Structure 1
């Protein structure tokens, strides 16, 4: 699969997830073998109005590359102008047409665009003409069961000049419930000639391999399966490379990853914000561990790096234990 200067067989993407895939966590996933990063979803309007919070979301580091920036909006010219204004900072631009959140959908953005194919074409065409770097688009299977139009939308995206399309095998109506329909990814792959990236229900390395085999997709995109589990990328990479599957992390590996994550949060966001954001990550990292519910309860009181270090070192034994 090729996107601009990036070329790799069966690349693995980290899906943009608001409040999850920030700079600190992307750095950890990259170290574990993820091929392609993407910023959290950014509003083109917020970028236009120079929102301070938006500028923070655009932060990246050279070791992350290749990295895309994901924009959302519904105004073709504004989307094109804002994409062009930041494209030099990234390897390509991605457009979100899959977000199911009501405040986005009710504004005619995100997955609401699946109901407006002509506007999809206008947005992609305006952006593709304005940009020098590749443009990709992330879509869903459709808006609801009466509008499962991913194939039509993907064809329009290709015709308008996009370089690749990512397909999440759920409708907007499903949010993240039920089971992702991978057959729609296969149908999109059969219908377009640009690369297709499959997304939905990749929670282990075997899922990634099975999606590739069943759909023929050119790359896979991992979303919720990566929460608290950056090791998933080394496992997928090993399976794709024909190497033995690595052992799951030990208690000590989990402890060290949490502490490294927290130090990165401290570096980039400061103690007040960084430690509060680590609370949810602690819950994800310890899912399935003994006494995890007790740790989650206490994690809500973590305010300083010292608090977090004390809690984590108390929770995890010093002697390595496989889990």
Structure 2
């Protein structure tokens, strides 16, 4: 109950900011509004405490804690007590021993062939502006991801502003293999930026998929896919590869026809591209990118491209549930799968044997907050965003809905998260929302 009151403080703070003159609704009034949740929360905490005394759950906590201790003895995730508070019976069902489901067996089930690359690209975290932070990449790696992209970085800013690169490209020894994604409008800018980032990564990806109006105005991303730009794309791949001596990847969208897409991919392959990541949607009309985000990806087109080229291809799109991972790989025969929003909602999407549940969401969220608190500096706005995604936020503004609300109304939960000014405040909100 004390946690709930603390969470309301963040909500109250945000409402006061919006009103400009304070909010008439006090914490006491809000407490009364959710008083009916008090008994449920107390029962849940008591039940959790009872669970902790049982031998079977104690063994589970011991195993979990042991699995999260690095070779140097440091605990790299949340401890048993934190998990205990949020575990429910369906969480115990997900603790089944999956030792028989080895990574090799998992790969055989997909029907995918292997390709020669210097690292594993079977399960890849996509580049996401404002969401591909170091803490999130590490979280996904601990739960099955074999490689991860940074968010898209601007080559021109890397060259001109050393502070931009320092802030945007945060990494560590655990964060490998790492692919840095660059956008550029000229070959010279791309090569210059590539030379600066290559010591910190294992490959560089050229962004040829961004559909935003800024990309159209400046001439990068998906707006370089038109055939008139192909000679420059060949030069970009060839010269970047020569200057950095590490693999060069390209992330593209489908063109108007499969034949045109294959022709582009063959052009990039001939220039020295080592891997293609294909977003299974076509470039939307200028300014209408938001209207096309929820349309299904064309995996059949990706399947045809995979059959036509000899370099590895990552399929990207239509991956929202763990079952989609193997199904999409099997259908497309791609070398690997890249996922964005599916991982934002469930960072354990690639984990073998993972069964989504409320307790699994709680565990992942607390683990993310723990990593973020250790990997300073962090942007609190990014952390807020991940909390919203993992709590199942859909839509925007006051009309948004949530998969997990706990004792809050939709507006209270949104205000509490936006008003939170620290990771500890966000952790309080998460505990209240996902408590059994």
* TM-score normalised to structure 2 length: 0.65
Aligned to 2:92: none
Q: How many residues align?
A: 302
Structure 1 or 2: more helix by fraction: 2
Determine if the alignment matches structure 1 residue 225 to structure 2 residue 336: no
CA-CA distance at 1:192 after TM superposition: 1.1
User: C-alpha separation between the residues in 2 aligned to 1:4 and 1:89?
Assistant: 18
Post-superposition Cα deviations, 1:186-243, rounded to whole Å, max 9, x if no partner, equal 2211221111111112111222222222221111111111113111110xxx2xxxxx
Post-superposition Cα deviations, 1:217-274, rounded to whole Å, max 9, x if no partner, equal 111111111113111110xxx2xxxxxx3332443x4334323323433343457x32
Post-superposition Cα deviations, 1:79-119, rounded to whole Å, max 9, x if no partner, equal 12321232121111111100111112221100001112222
RMSD over aligned Cα, in angstroms? 2.2
CA contact (8 A) 1:148 1:171 kept: no
Match of 1:69 among 167, 180, 195: 180
Aligned to 2:354: 246
CA-CA distance at 1:27 after TM superposition: 0.6
Structure 1 or 2: more strand by fraction: 1
Aligned to 2:247: 134
RCO higher in structure (CA 8 A, sep ≥6): 2
User: C-alpha separation between the residues in 1 aligned to 2:433 and 2:155?
Assistant: 42
CA-CA distance at 1:7 after TM superposition: 4.4
CA contact (8 A) 1:98 1:138 kept: yes
User: C-alpha separation between the residues in 2 aligned to 1:43 and 1:16?
Assistant: 13
Aligned to 1:90: 201
Post-superposition Cα deviations, 1:113-167, rounded to whole Å, max 9, x if no partner, equal 111222221211221222211111100002xx48983212111110101111111
**Residue 282 and residue 148 in structure 1: after superposition, are their counterparts in 2 closer, same or farther (change >3 A)?**
farther
Unaligned runs of 5+ in 2: 1-113, 393-402
User: C-alpha separation between the residues in 2 aligned to 1:212 and 1:255?
Assistant: 28
User: C-alpha separation between the residues in 2 aligned to 1:126 and 1:161?
Assistant: 9
User: C-alpha separation between the residues in 1 aligned to 2:416 and 2:243?
Assistant: 50
Aligned to 1:241: none
Match of 1:310 among 422, 428, 432: 428
User: C-alpha separation between the residues in 2 aligned to 1:309 and 1:12?
Assistant: 28
**Residue 80 and residue 2 in structure 1: after superposition, are their counterparts in 2 closer, same or farther (change >3 A)?**
farther
Match of 1:179 among 275, 292, 296: 296
CA contact (8 A) 2:346 2:361 kept: no
